[in-house]
Structure 1
Amino acid sequence: MKIRSLLRGRIKLPFTITFVAVFLLLNVRTSYAGNALNDGESSGIQQQKKQVTGVIVDIYDEPLIGVNIIEKGTTNGTVTDIDGNYSLSVAESAVLQISYIGYLTQEINTSGRTTVNITLQEDTQALEEVVVVGYGVQKKVNLTGSVASIGAQKLENRPMVNLSSGLGGLAAGVQVRQSSGKPGSDGASILVRGTGTFQGSNSPMIVIDGVVVDEGNAINSVNSEDVESVTILKDAASAAIYGSRAANGVVLITTKGGRKEAKPRFSYSSLFAQSDVSSKFKLESNTAEWMEMHNRAVMNMNPAGVVADPTLLPYKQSDIDTWRAASLNPNGTDNEWGVPNYLAYPNTDWTKYFYYPSFYHKHTLQVTGGGANNTYLLSAGYQSNPGTMPNTSLEEYSMRANVETTVADILKVGTRTFFNQRYGDVADSSTGGALFYINQMVPAMTPEYNGKYGALEDPTLNASMNPQNMENPLARLLLRDGQHITSRLNTTWYVGAELFDGLNAEIKFNYQDALWDQREHDVNIKRYSFRTDEVLAEYNANLSLATTSRSFTRQVARNLIGTLNYNKTFGDHDISALLGYEQTYWNYNGFSASKRGLLDYSITDITTGIEMSSIGGSYKRDYAMISQFGRVNYSYLLMFRTSLKPLTKK
């Protein structure tokens, strides 16, 4: 009988060394607090102290061992012994914070008291809280693996452009890194507990509403306003149910649903934000200084030669003086062309033209509710992100329908369906595109004025710097026009039934269809001298060499999942079991083609091209997988737990 009482009181010490380690650690903390007090006394800091003692028990009047007692606002604390007793030296009006796993935290004011006996109440909500895991849910208290759960409230309280980047800092051991700020390419890479392999992908597996999504950017197609929770399986024990596919961890996304017997509830959320580059690199924007730096560089490389022949310097001192004088009066027109000096003698800071603030906005409209036997959530979303560079904007539309109906109290039928479509601009803003030229730029060029693009204003400054080989990076961002369209459909239909008390069966069918349609063509751009308003250089000047291209890629996936779940509590024994079967098929194919020669720059469809210049694409491929899996969890008194996860794949 005594053993039974001790077990009910959560006595773990005889069965595991884990508690012993924690117990010793807390004793060290208590010793530290005592030393701190002694140090304070030796330094002359005196504070009225008293000794508070007591015993802490549960609702069955059984003593609790290892309960944390902390003096609020300090590091002074202790833990209860095997009989639930404690003793702590505290300030006269101290407040004690009492906490213990599985019980509600209490705060007790000790003013005028030296004996404080406490009865802790079980936190039934914490004990019954469930967490989404592979192919089902488990009680949080029964988890044996490393799992991080992020609720909707945490996600809703932070502004985010997409779901992946919004996960940063919300889960320990999860690294979220964003490598691009271009809209549509600004999804973050997720690493669970660091790099898992030096070859291949380190990305975790993505599961949306119980179905694996084998498509790189799928996580960002989910509207963050529709997400109920995100669960991250971080170790092998928690992710083993998915086999080798989960070697880098698993991110489980569960979307919201409606509520039974609830009137229709409309909600609207919007986000307005300004996007800007947090750190800009600095380029020399004063042309006179830029010329002097180049002269000094030549002088340092060949001092004797320059002394003997000053014409080796690339820039004349008279030109430097003229440019500097004009920059002192930028609005003056006292030059031979009669235009403002800021056009005749430009001093361009290229980073201001490449990176500028833009206003991003996102809107979501939801309606939720339900009747006695059904629930529903309908959602529509729109976002517009113009980007911080020209020709990089993105528009996105999304729709979702989560509907469920109960038939005859034992059978449920439902769907979780969403559609997402994006329209993006085509500029190549990478370091291999327009940014490749920005470090080569001279400030003696006006990027754009009155809808026209500039060229090098004074080619006589340096013979090697003629307008034809000096690029205008801003104009290069606009050399290609067109549109990148991405469409994603993900629909899941399921039927579930309670066969008998504790045993539930579910069959789920999922269909995924992702399309990438990219259309691009060359654009003719003339580059002017704003001194004379004449064309000095031209991009894509020859219609016969201009190109138009089209690429189309499609990925289709079909999944069939059947599971049996058993959950039952027998007295102090908690048992859950899962048996499942999954069949998956993927198909991937695409093509790309490019034609050279346009009839006119306004006629850009690929069918109007004159000559085929290239044709190719992704070869058609498909693969399939059949899996049988299972899991058994056993818990005794919510303390002693074991988990088995057999898995086979073909």
Structure 2
Amino acid sequence: MKIIILQKIKSNNVLAFFLSVFFLVVLVENCYAQPTGAGQNTIRVTGTVTSAIDGAILPGVSIVVEGTTTGTVTDMDGTYSIEVPENATLVFSYLGFAPQKIAVGGRNSINVLMVESAEALDELVVTALGIRREEKSLGYSVGKIASEELSKVVHENILTSMAGKVTGVTINSTGGTGSTVSMVIRGATSMSTDNQPLFVIDGVPMTSSVNNVGGFGSGNLVDYGNSISDIDPESIESISILKGPSAAALYGTRAGNGVVLITTKKANQRGGMKVEVVSNTVFDIPSKYLDVQNRFGFGARSYTDKTFANGVIPPYNVSEVAGAGPELNKGYWQVQPFAPLDANGAAIPTELIAYPDNYKNFINRSAITSTNSISISSVTDLVNYRLGISNMTNKGLVPNSDLNRNNLTLSATSEMRKGFTVSTDINYTQNWADNRPATQERGANPLQWAAWTPPNVDIRQLEAYKLGGNEVLTIGEGWENPYFLVYGIN
């Protein structure tokens, strides 16, 4: 029988015989080969992967047995299941989080809390709907500001805190504390709009125009500032500025001037309750004052020694309070506003002297802004929360001007049951002031009338502005008393 088979094989193909033997050996070897982890018992490991910051489930987390290519990923519920040797080590990795190595140790259930990596986050940008993307994958330029940079010099408005920290961003303030702040990214692009970017706070879009001007009466227009100024700077974790016009693809045409993404602080550390207290005091001291002419007094024409030999110039005319009159500090005399009276009640001429520090004498020597805040945060298995309370008080450079603000912020997340998480972000702001001075040209703007006070009149003479009844001390008809504007109109 054997001879017959061999002869038949030989007569057909000797090479085919050897190939058949080879495949037979391989088949037998595979049948008796040990599976992965030869000589070891395998177990099935299951678990859930969540964020250590807010307890959110993390789909798509890569889980690999160390030293092998065996692995899996978490599903949409953040759960996974994998069969591994009982003494294996699992490696968990996810974009934006620090990788973790966990020894199985014979356990069948392993739940993992992923911790954000500061190094990885530097390369990430939170775009629309909270989606995180690598910065290099975006089609537009991104400028980023961390909370540490915002708190180096504390401002009452987060926009002024950003000044000079991002290239291509121009920030201008229209007035003092609490007034409107304009932010233009990469230059103005429209002649009919205010060119302000779209602000997105924790995924919620918010507009902030520069036209929040109101008031009462005639010519008493007050700048009440931007709505973005209501945000407590102490509650901000980071700011990302999307500069390119391509950013409009994420938020529509209203983002054509760019987008400012603001992320607020969340509880992100385990280990019990954390209490943080911050107190800041900032002084604003003028380094340079408005330069106004103080060479000539008020009047419609100039005078010389030859015009009036005795050096006494006729009393000023109310209709000539504008323009340039006689030169000051030249020994000329004139009956001026608030002139003393002789025994007969006649006004006495006084020397025309310049008061170059009128503007400086009117405003306060400094402004002071005090900010005090306290925050309480905790991360537990039941709930993660951060509660912040802050108070800001400001005494401005303009006399009798002030601004006060209280902020309450709450960020909380709770996993009610597996796969069901409830989150909330609350920002409550209360602003008030005893007096917000007018900031528009003409009308009741005290700084304008302080600058227009004739240089031969000491502005401090106007401080006692009450004359009784509805009468107010002024230098002439059509002129406003700046002290009345700051103390009499609130």
User: Residues 171 and 397 (structure 1 numbering): CA distance in 2 closer, same or farther, change over 3 Å?
Assistant: same
Q: 1:354 is matched with which residue?
A: 362
Q: 2:432 is matched with which residue?
A: 423
**Displacement of 1:274:** 1.1
1:191 to 164, 184, 190: 184
1:206-221 matches, cutoff 5 A: 206-216=199-209, 217-221=226-230
**Displacement of 1:254:** 0.8
User: Residues 466 and 150 (structure 1 numbering): CA distance in 2 closer, same or farther, change over 3 Å?
Assistant: closer
Query: How far apart, in 2, do the equivalents of 1:443 and 1:260 lie?
Result: 62
Query: How far apart, in 1, do the equivalents of 2:148 and 2:484 lie?
Result: 44
Structure 2 residue matching 1:237: 3-state secondary structure: helix
Query: How far apart, in 1, do the equivalents of 2:308 and 2:178 lie?
Result: 55
- Checking the alignment, whether the CA contact within 8 Å between 1:272 and 1:360 is kept in structure 2 is yes
Q: 1:33 is matched with which residue?
A: none
- Checking the alignment, whether the CA contact within 8 Å between 2:372 and 2:392 is kept in structure 1 is yes
Residue 465 of structure 2 corresponds to residue 453 of structure 1: yes
TM-score, with structure 2 as normaliser: 0.58
Q: 1:139 is matched with which residue?
A: 134
**Displacement of 1:253:** 0.8
User: Residues 299 and 128 (structure 1 numbering): CA distance in 2 closer, same or farther, change over 3 Å?
Assistant: closer
**Displacement of 1:257:** 0.5
Structure 1 residue runs without a partner (length 5+): 1-122, 325-334, 337-342, 456-464, 482-650
Residue 162 of structure 2 corresponds to residue 154 of structure 1: no
1:267-306 matches, cutoff 5 A: 267-283=276-292, 290-291=296-297, 298-299=302-303, 306=307
Query: How far apart, in 1, do the equivalents of 2:328 and 2:257 lie?
Result: 64
Query: Aligned partner of 1:176: which letter?
Result: I
- Checking the alignment, whether the CA contact within 8 Å between 1:127 and 1:140 is kept in structure 2 is no
Query: How far apart, in 2, do the equivalents of 1:406 and 1:422 lie?
Result: 35
Query: How far apart, in 2, do the equivalents of 1:131 and 1:311 lie?
Result: 74
Cα RMSD after superposing both structures: 4.0
- Checking the alignment, whether the CA contact within 8 Å between 1:379 and 1:400 is kept in structure 2 is yes
User: Residues 175 and 320 (structure 1 numbering): CA distance in 2 closer, same or farther, change over 3 Å?
Assistant: closer
Query: Aligned partner of 1:351: which letter?
Result: Y
2:271 to 242, 248, 262: 262
- Checking the alignment, whether the CA contact within 8 Å between 1:447 and 1:454 is kept in structure 2 is no
Query: Aligned partner of 2:142: which letter?
Result: V
Structure 1 residue matching 2:421: 3-state secondary structure: strand
**Displacement of 1:236:** 2.5
**Displacement of 1:309:** 12
Query: Comparing both chains, which one has the higher relative contact order based on Cα–Cα distances under 8 Å and sequence gaps of 6 or more?
Result: 2
Structure 2 residue matching 1:477: 3-state secondary structure: helix
User: Residues 383 and 277 (structure 1 numbering): CA distance in 2 closer, same or farther, change over 3 Å?
Assistant: same
**Displacement of 1:255:** 0.3
- Checking the alignment, whether the CA contact within 8 Å between 2:371 and 2:392 is kept in structure 1 is yes
More displaced stretch, 393-402 vs 371-380:
371-380
Q: Which runs of 4+ in 1 moved over 3 A?
A: 123-129, 282-285, 306-324, 343-348, 443-451, 465-471
User: Residues 407 and 476 (structure 1 numbering): CA distance in 2 closer, same or farther, change over 3 Å?
Assistant: closer
Residue 482 of structure 2 corresponds to residue 441 of structure 1: no
Task: Tell me the alpha carbon deviations over residues 168-194 of structure 1, each in whole angstroms, 9 at most, x when there is no partner.
Answer: 12222111112212x221x42111111
Query: How far apart, in 2, do the equivalents of 1:241 and 1:261 lie?
Result: 34
Query: Aligned partner of 2:206: which letter?
Result: V
Task: Tell me the alpha carbon deviations over residues 231-261 of structure 1, each in whole angstroms, 9 at most, x when there is no partner.
Answer: 1111122331111111111111110101253
2:385 to 371, 376, 392: 376
- Checking the alignment, whether the CA contact within 8 Å between 2:453 and 2:459 is kept in structure 1 is no
- Checking the alignment, whether the CA contact within 8 Å between 2:237 and 2:265 is kept in structure 1 is yes
1:399 to 399, 408, 412: 408
**Displacement of 1:158:** 2.9
Query: How far apart, in 1, do the equivalents of 2:466 and 2:271 lie?
Result: 62
Query: How far apart, in 2, do the equivalents of 1:438 and 1:467 lie?
Result: 14
Q: 1:640 is matched with which residue?
A: none
1:463-478 matches, cutoff 5 A: 467=476, 470-478=479-487
- Checking the alignment, whether the CA contact within 8 Å between 2:289 and 2:360 is kept in structure 1 is no
Structure 1 residue matching 2:397: 3-state secondary structure: coil
Query: How far apart, in 2, do the equivalents of 1:184 and 1:196 lie?
Result: 26
Structure 2 residue matching 1:198: 3-state secondary structure: coil
Query: Identity over the aligned pairs, expressed in percent?
Result: 23
Query: How far apart, in 2, do the equivalents of 1:226 and 1:127 lie?
Result: 19
Query: Aligned partner of 1:157: which letter?
Result: K
Residue 407 of structure 2 corresponds to residue 414 of structure 1: no
Query: Aligned partner of 1:168: which letter?
Result: A
Structure 2 residue runs without a partner (length 5+): 1-116, 210-225, 317-325, 335-341, 344-349, 468-473
Residue 159 of structure 2 corresponds to residue 164 of structure 1: yes
**Displacement of 1:268:** 1.1
Query: How far apart, in 1, do the equivalents of 2:270 and 2:328 lie?
Result: 85
Query: How far apart, in 2, do the equivalents of 1:346 and 1:307 lie?
Result: 18
Q: 1:246 is matched with which residue?
A: 255
Q: How many residues align?
A: 326
